[in-house]
Amino acid sequence: MKDKCASSASGGLLPAGGAWLFYLPGQAESLVQGLPPETWLTPLEYARYSRFSVPKRAAEFALSRLAAKQLALSCAVIPDRMDFSRLEIEHDPAGAPFLRLLTGGAEYRNFSLSHSHGAVFCGLSFQAENPFGMDLEWIEPRQEDFLRDFFTAEELRAVKNQPLPRQPLAANLIWSAKEAVLKALRAGLRLDTRQVQIALSDLRPAPEKCWQFLSAGGPNGQRWQVAWQVRSGYVMTLAQPADHPFNWQETA
């Protein structure tokens, strides 16, 4: 599949496939214009936020909620920012996040969220027949023990076959792709990550905001396509069934 460059979705309209957004650390604060978290978190979210003793963890929690609410606003799930406190992120018994409106109880289950080193990446689709998962990783060296524990022999060879400067990207890309597929399966890390096989050959340079594609195999012979791109030192991945058209747009 050819590279696909991201385009922006207009506010209030969910594209045919789905919408996603990515925030760097500190990028989203203007959305709430300095309002205290209790004014735009739900009561349950604020109670959870208040229990964090580590400021970094509290900030990550708040940013992930803020990003999800902004995505919902862009997709017309809520009408304006005054409704941020009426939209809650919950988790199903398997740990997968979903969106729930406190007024009326509508739920949006085809949702995925990831954060890493202060940045957040999330997506929403109204197409129930197209399960997807997303993951975000900061590109950094990975220890050999980590790779041996979580990668297949073929994936280890794929990392080592890259030029040395590209090996951190290769390792984090494979790991992120595995996480994205496992999230699409609503399995998280309850499955052995080696049950997901990522096919990686050469890493080709691509312009910023352009998706590249990998193929992946899952348990029971499922086939997945994994879109990926690098932005500002992070690698982001979006996994969906291999036979489904890739039709995603970035929103702000």
**How do residues 199-220 score in pLDDT, each as one tens digit?**
998 787 777 778 999 999 998 8
**Is pTM beyond 0.85 here?**
yes
Of residues 189 and 79, which shows the higher confidence score? 79
Report the share of the chain in percent with pLDDT over 70.
Answer: 93
Determine the Cα–Cα distance for residues 133 and 173; give it in Å rounded to an integer. Answer: 14
* HEC assignment per residue over 73-117: HHCCCCCCHHHHHHEEEEECCCCCEEEEECCCCCEECCEEEEEEC
Predicted confidence band of residue 4 (pLDDT cuts 50, 70, 90): confident
List phi, psi (to 5°) of 117: 45, 45
Q: Say which DSSP state 9 is in.
A: P
State pLDDT tens for residues 21-60: 999 988 877 778 778 899 999 999 999 999 999 988 898 8
The mean pLDDT of the chain is 89
* Separation in Å, CA 195 to CA 67, 132, 151, 187: 31, 17, 9, 11
pLDDT of residue 10 exceeding 60:
no
Determine the Cα–Cα distance for residues 158 and 153; give it in Å rounded to an integer. Answer: 9
Give the count of beta carbons closer than 10 Å to the beta carbon of residue 96. 19
pLDDT of residue 233 exceeding 60:
yes
pLDDT of residue 242 exceeding 90:
yes
pLDDT of residue 19 exceeding 70:
yes
For residues 91 and 98, is the Cβ–Cβ distance under 8 A?
yes
pLDDT of residue 15 exceeding 80:
no
Report the share of the chain in percent with pLDDT over 90.
Answer: 68
- Same fold across 18-124 and 133-245: yes
Q: Which CATH architecture has domain 18-124?
A: Alpha-Beta Complex (3.90)
Angle between helices 55-74 and 43-50 in degrees, nearest 10: 160
Of residues 40 and 14, which shows the higher confidence score? 40
pLDDT of amino acid 238: 98
CATH number assigned to the domain covering 133-245: 3.90.470.20
Determine the Cα–Cα distance for residues 240 and 51; give it in Å rounded to an integer. Answer: 35
Question: Domain-by-domain residue ranges, the chain?
Answer: 18-124, 133-245
State pLDDT tens for residues 94-137: 889 999 999 889 999 999 999 999 999 999 998 888 899 999 99
pLDDT of amino acid 1: 46
